[in-house]
Chains A and B, each alone.
Chain A
Amino acid sequence: MLLSYVQLSACDLCGGVGSNASIGIFAANQFHLVGWRSQLRSFDSYLYGIKHSSELYWQKDLTFRTQFGRKVQVYGAIPFQVARQKTDFNTTVTQGMGDPNVLFTYALIDRKDSLHVTQDFLNIGLGVKMPLGKSGNYPVDLKNLYPGTGSWDGLFLANYTHRIGTRFSFQAEASHTLKGADQTSFRYGNSTQVSSVFIYNQKVNSSRFISSLGLQQDWFAASSYQGVQLTEKANNGYVGSAKASINLLTYNWLFSIQAQKSLFQELSQGAVQQKFVLGLSVHYLIKKKQHEKNNH
């Protein structure tokens, strides 16, 4: 989503929505961060065009970001997820730790003006999601409800930020996730995400108010089982969404609210519809020590 962390859902639930990495609008900042974020995602599932169930996913992550020198950043997250599926007859709840992930990024371009304000910033990233979370076995379990996928996934990312005047920035981001197979040879399809946002920031007393508004498009390839691509409920498709965030950056804290609403979508041949995504996060900023600054 929009914040300065790896946005990665451990489980490719209901069509793999939210399964790509994102480092978000604070990519060009050089704080060390530790934090907590919470995200609510809602879906409806359909059978023969009639609503059959509703799914709600509540994911909480412990996150960190650290900076090595001026160019290298490391992002990481340990997720915990509670998923609920409600049908006409019963409610199923699955919860547990998700798959932790780590992403290394390198700043290819970091152009600053005479006041040392970043004007252009291009970051590229490489990461991995580790199958350490709780995962289900296809086709016995409701695999999409589980917090982990049971697979090693490779993450690739590029993020470009351009400053426009004193208060606006534009950011474009693209990411791709290469999915591995789990122990039963089930493999979610690879996914790609592109997004662009306009960012507005304004100083308010000793804090900074930062908001963003943009668009995001996700594509998901079909899942496969034992090497054969699934033809039904294959988690493939696309989602186009509008997204927005409001952030308050104080001396040591970063508070954020994010929202995402799909504009058009086609997931699992129409069997799944994403309704909304809401997020809330709090991060503690660890300022760089003086000798670190001097070294730069």
Chain B
Amino acid sequence: MACIALLLVTSCHKGDATSATIDIMEPMVNDTVAYDDSVHFEGTIVGDGTMYGYKLTYENAATGAEYMSFPSEEKAKSYAFHEHWHNQVMDTTTVTLKVEATLDHKGTKTSKLIQVVCLPQ
């Protein structure tokens, strides 16, 4: 009985992704963003199986402080994202934009990041 249960649990997740290709179309590395402009974050995540969601994060590269994040728990084999964050930093700041995909039901993650320079007023 335990074996059957184990088999069922295992078979439910046999389509989980083991890897994913993350492409960031925008912004470009080290782009400079003027004050009050929007930092446009756009790209795709394509897995080799079903993924369990992903998260986009804008954070201060020096302190790790998070400015904004977009978490999703949508299950899919691929994602296309397109989000914005409004630059209102007080000093010249390097901002890290991070994409983190959840590959399987155990929570295994893969990620990619890019940095841009945000200018103050």
Contacts and interface: CB of A to CB of B under 8 A. Distances in A.
A88 B74 CA distance: 6
A25 B74 CA distance: 43
A51 B72 CA distance: 14
Nearest to B46: A50
Interface stretch (B58-66, B78-86, B90-98): B78-86
A52 interface: yes
Contact of B71 (A46, A49, A52, A89): A89
B82 A52 contact: yes
B29 interface: no
Nearest to A89: B70
Contacts of B44: 47-48, 50
A103 to B, nearest CB: 38
Contacts, number: 32
B80 A50 contact: yes
A101 B70 CA distance: 41
B42 interface: yes
Interface in A215-250: none
B25 A88 contact: no
Nearest to A88: B72
Contacts of B82: 47, 52
A50 B79 contact: yes
Size category of the binding interface on chain A? under 10
A88 B71 CA distance: 8
Interface in A34-76: 46-52
Contacts of A88: 53-54, 70, 72, 74, 79, 81
Nearest to B45: A50
A89 B78 CA distance: 15
Given A88-B79, A88-B81, A89-B83, A48 B25 contact: yes
A247 B99 CA distance: 52
Nearest to A49: B80
Given A47-B82, A50-B44, A50-B78, 19 more contacts: A47-B42, A47-B44, A47-B80, A47-B81, A48-B44, A48-B80, A49-B80, A50-B46, A50-B79, A50-B80, A52-B81, A52-B82, A88-B70, A88-B79, A88-B81, A89-B56, A89-B71, A89-B72, A89-B83
Interface of A: 46-52, 88-89
5 contacts: A48-B44, A50-B78, A51-B76, A88-B72, A89-B71
The 9 closest A-B pairs by CB, nearest first: A47-B80, A50-B80, A88-B72, A52-B80, A89-B70, A50-B78, A88-B74, A48-B44, A48-B80
